[in-house]
Amino acid sequence: MTHNLLKGKKGIIFGALNDKSIAWKVAEKAVEEGATITLSNTAMAIRMGDFEKLGEQLQAEVIPADATSVEDLETVFRRSMEVLGGPVDFVLHSIGMSPNVRKKRTYDDLDYNMLSKTLDISAISFHKMLQTAKKMDAIAEYGSVLALSYVAAQRTFFGYNDMADAKSLLESIARSFGYIYGREKNVRINTISQSPTPTTAGSGVKGMEHLMDFANKMSPLGNASADECADYCVMMFSDFTRKVTMQNLYHDGGFSSMGMSLRAMNQYSKSLDEYTDENGHIIYG
């Protein structure tokens, strides 16, 4: 069922890779709700993914860009304004990648060049996007910008590694830039902190299946799906949230406010053996 929440609005969606991607669902839903959009991802992702298909389905131009390159971002905003006919009303940053996670470097053995890449791709690209858009005056008054985050920005999760640092920085950028862009142009900037979700990026996290099950058992409403995240993004792009800015908004079925649930306690009590290493020493943590 559509509500025409984005009727007449224009937007840019960064980060749709395949039909599991959160950005893919947001792109579909935004168009369903009346928006016209452009899509962007790296040239490699466009080659590898089913991207062209999505572009055709949504009648959206696909603009290749590495989100760490200011020059590429300028191209995306310039071209989007050309094809959409003026400044955009919403932007989604749905981008994340950690070479340390990919190469299985643990948090106490990080490669610092890789850490720089993690931060650049997953967080600083958001600043680059905002700064580029502001300089080009590419976002309309009361425009809405969203980036996707995870609760590991606030709490430590085994295996989330340097992505936790990237998410903390991402959320901080939303606040710092939200102040300036809000004051000067009424543009709102928020992050949505999403439940663990089975996507390509999600599957890179160590123990993802168990993490998803744990989060699901802990959350009174269960994990939020990518489709449900898209609904929330559409609402945040709509005129119904015009005074929401500089927030990290949890979209996680209640997980972030829980300490222990009956379902998780029940699962935990099924195996109370201590976790030991190969020498029989107890591992805490």
Ligand X SMILES: NC(=O)c1ccc[n+]([C@@H]2O[C@H](COP(=O)([O-])OP(=O)(O)OC[C@H]3O[C@@H](n4cnc5c(N)ncnc54)[C@H](O)[C@@H]3O)[C@@H](O)[C@H]2O)c1
Which residue ranges make up the site for ligand X (CB under 6 A)? Answer: 15, 17, 21-23, 41-42, 45, 66-68, 94-97, 121, 148-150, 194, 196-197, 199-202
Give the nearest distance from C-beta 108 to ligand X in angstroms. Answer: 22
H helical segments located in the chain: 22-32, 43-48, 51-58, 70-84, 99-102, 112-119, 125-136, 163-185, 200-203, 208-218, 226-237, 262-269
Find out whether 50 and 131 touch, Cβ atoms under 8 Å.
no
DSSP 199: S
Q: Which is nearer to ligand X, 140 or 258 (CB)?
A: 258
Q: Which is nearer to ligand X, 140 or 208 (CB)?
A: 208
CA–CA separation, 33 and 240 (whole Å): 14
Q: Which is nearer to ligand X, 150 or 181 (CB)?
A: 150
Q: Which is nearer to ligand X, 79 or 185 (CB)?
A: 79
Q: Which is nearer to ligand X, 3 or 53 (CB)?
A: 53
Give the nearest distance from C-beta 28 to ligand X in angstroms. Answer: 13
Paired tokens of 24: 């893919």
Q: Which is nearer to ligand X, 23 or 88 (CB)?
A: 23
Give the nearest distance from C-beta 31 to ligand X in angstroms. Answer: 18
Q: Which is nearer to ligand X, 55 or 202 (CB)?
A: 202
Give the nearest distance from C-beta 115 to ligand X in angstroms. Answer: 15
CA–CA separation, 241 and 5 (whole Å): 11
Provide the edge-to-edge strand list for the sheet that holds 139-149: 61-64, 36-41, 10-14, 88-93, 139-149, 188-194, 248-251
**Residue of 267, 244, 268 lying closest to 175 (CA atoms):** 244
Give the nearest distance from C-beta 251 to ligand X in angstroms. Answer: 9
Q: Tell me the CA distances in angstroms from 247 to 142, 150, 190, 231, 244, one per residue in order.
A: 15, 13, 5, 18, 7
Give the nearest distance from C-beta 8 to ligand X in angstroms. Answer: 27
Residue 13 CA, distance from chain mean position? 11
Give the nearest distance from C-beta 183 to ligand X in angstroms. Answer: 26
